[in-house]
Amino acid sequence: MSKEYIKAFSEAVSNILSQFGMTEISLQEIQGCGKNIDASGVVCIVGVFGDLTGNVIFSMTEEGAKGIASCMMGGMEIDAFDELAQSAISELGNMLAANACIGLSELGFEADISTPTLMQGIFTLSGNYEKAERIAMDAGGYDFDVIVSVERRGQK
């Protein structure tokens, strides 16, 4: 997978979360992962299409999702991962994917995104392609993973 794709998505996390006052954002590791991805907590899946096709998965614990949603809402206390917090995390997925696509467009890749899908629980997700990259980040003390499963259209 292209380092350009990884850079666009990791920079999107830093760019967007810092706008909500989360200043302690760091890249922990980048790791290849297969098509099947184990997840527990909250995931937001966004499809990517255009010059690039596939999907990106934003994964975090429920506590992390509540903490990030709280930052997005100006520090409002979030006791439960209810409809308001779910809406915030869905919108976060939308903003992160859109910001990454803007970065990719500056490199000559035209990409658009689908409506985010939010899921909660313990499950195994299947990426679009055999090769995916997991970008492990720390976002204000919360584990925040970005799983990128995209390829250039027509590339196998």
Q: Tokens 């308001």, residue?
A: 84
CB 97 within 8 A of CB 103: no
Inter-residue contact 13 to 100 (CB < 8 Å): no
Residue-wise pLDDT for 106-149, tens only, equals 999 999 999 999 999 998 887 777 788 999 999 999 999 999 99
Domain limits, the chain: 3-150
- What is the chain's mean pLDDT, rounded? 92
Separation of alpha carbons 100 and 84, rounded Å: 24
Q: How confident is the model at residue 1 (pLDDT cuts 50, 70, 90)?
A: low
**Which stretches of the chain are DSSP H helices?**
3-19, 62-72, 83-105
Domain 3-150: give its CATH code.
3.40.1550.10
Chain segment 45-55, per-residue pLDDT in tens? 999 999 999 99
Which residue, 6, 21, 10, 27, is CA-closest to 143?
Answer: 27
Q: Which residue pairs from 113-117 have beta carbons closer than 8 angstroms and sit at least 24 positions apart in sequence?
A: 113/46, 113/47, 113/48, 113/49, 114/46, 114/47, 114/48, 114/49, 116/44, 116/45, 116/46, 116/90, 116/91, 117/44, 117/45, 117/46
Whole-number Å distance between alpha carbons of 87 and 120: 13
